[in-house]
């Protein structure tokens, strides 16, 4: 396993981290608890020390499964979870009020069976609550020892600049993949400038960069691949498929190409990859056995230019 340092705090995290939205089951076609626990334990055995989760993943189920799996391994791991999405009757709304944040941290600690969170992140911005008030609540939790570090997720540069006025932000978690590169415009350079570690989620773009779909799959309306990732529409999928076929010039598995493309970008400290079972974990970690070279990066850039910017 390779490890990268979160700049501000010199905390070493595995360059591939375990993303756990899929393990919650909801919005991802279901999940078996035994398979999920096996996946977590396999990742740890292979050197993964960084696990990212959130209360909204399976409406608490992902945190509960992680808590069961890491019960006797907690001291060796870096656990990140989030706050700010309220669940009522399986409906989700934004809530970053200090009162709700205090409720959420208690529930997350209980589900994860731990007394502290290494990196506690605002999951999504809440336009109805002062960011200063939300971050002051996180600062209070940090002083109490319930969290060790503060991160944010899905923030643009303007919000990140504002957040830095009120708290020591050590990480930003945003979507980043070969197919989703918006953060390169200003967010990623700003993170590099300010020594904020970028945690990249969605590096396989909802699974389409895994290489397993030769035909456009059809997911239920409630499935995240239907609404969170825009690559499975009847218009987008054929174009993406042509692009992926072009990447076959790089004689490596597509998932490894996609993960290494993100991993090797300056400012990225961990690539968060979801999984459904231990075999998927092993196949993704194989990416760390090699690096993309200059010529291979050029193949990717040329293919992107040809199929998406013509």
Per the structure block, which two tokens stand in for 2?
Answer: 């390779």
CA 176 to chain centre: 9
Strands 169-175 and 147-153: parallel
Helix, strand, or coil (residue 92): strand
CA distances from 244 to 48, 93, 236, 249 (A): 28, 36, 12, 10
The secondary structure of residue 177, as a DSSP letter, is B
Distance CA 92, CA 85 (A): 6
Q: 238: part of which helix (H) or strand (E)?
A: helix 236-246
Nearest to 203 by CA among 15, 10, 2, 5: 15
Beta-strand (E) ranges in the chain?
3-6, 11-14, 16-19, 50-52, 78-83, 85-88, 91-94, 117-122, 147-153, 169-175, 197-201, 268-273
Contact 283, 210 (CB under 8 A): no
Nearest to 203 by CA among 124, 119, 284, 276: 284
Q: Which of 3, 57, 120, 176 is catalytic?
A: 57
Contact 208, 238 (CB under 8 A): no
DSSP per position, 97-159 = -HHHHHHHHHHHHHHHT-S-EEEEEE-S--TTS-HHHHHHHHHHHHHTTSEEEEEEES--HHH
Q: Does residue 57 carry a catalytic annotation?
A: yes
The secondary structure of residue 93, as a DSSP letter, is E
Catalytic residue list: 57
């Amino acid at each position: 396993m390779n490890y990268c340092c979160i700049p501000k705090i010199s905390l070493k995290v595995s360059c591939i981290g375990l993303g756990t939205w899929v393990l919650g089951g909801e919005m991802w076609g279901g999940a078996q608890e035994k398979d999920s626990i096996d996946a977590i334990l396999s990742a740890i055995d292979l050197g993964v020390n960084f696990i990212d989760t959130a209360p909204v993943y399976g409406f608490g189920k992902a945190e509960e499964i992680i808590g069961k799996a890491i019960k006797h391994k907690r001291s060796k791991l870096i656990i990140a979870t989030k706050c700010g999405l309220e669940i009522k009757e399986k409906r989700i709304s934004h809530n970053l009020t200090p009162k709700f944040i205090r409720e959420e941290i208690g529930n997350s600690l209980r589900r994860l069976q731990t007394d502290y969170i290494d990196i506690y992140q605002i999951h999504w911005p809440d336009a109805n609550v002062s960011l200063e008030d939300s971050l002051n609540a996180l600062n209070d939790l940090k002083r109490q020892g319930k969290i060790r570090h503060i991160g944010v997720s899905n923030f643009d540069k303007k919000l990140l600049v504002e957040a830095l006025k009120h708290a020591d932000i050590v990480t930003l978690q945003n979507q980043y993949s070969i197919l989703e590169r918006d953060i390169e415009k200003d967010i990623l350079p700003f993170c590099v400038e300010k020594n904020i570690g970028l945690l990249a989620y969605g590096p396989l773009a909802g699974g389409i960069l895994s290489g397993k779909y030769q035909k456009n799959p059809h997911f239920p309306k409630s499935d995240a691949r239907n609404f969170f990732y825009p690559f499975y529409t009847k218009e987008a999928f054929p174009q993406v498929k042509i692009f992926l076929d072009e990447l076959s010039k790089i004689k490596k598995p597509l998932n490894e190409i996609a993960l290494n493309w993100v991993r090797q970008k300056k400012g990225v400290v961990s690539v968060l990859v979801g999984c459904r079972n231990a075999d998927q974990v092993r196949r993704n970690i194989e990416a760390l056995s090699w690096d993309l070279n200059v010529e291979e990066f050029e193949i990717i850039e040329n293919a992107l230019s040809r199929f998406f910017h013509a």
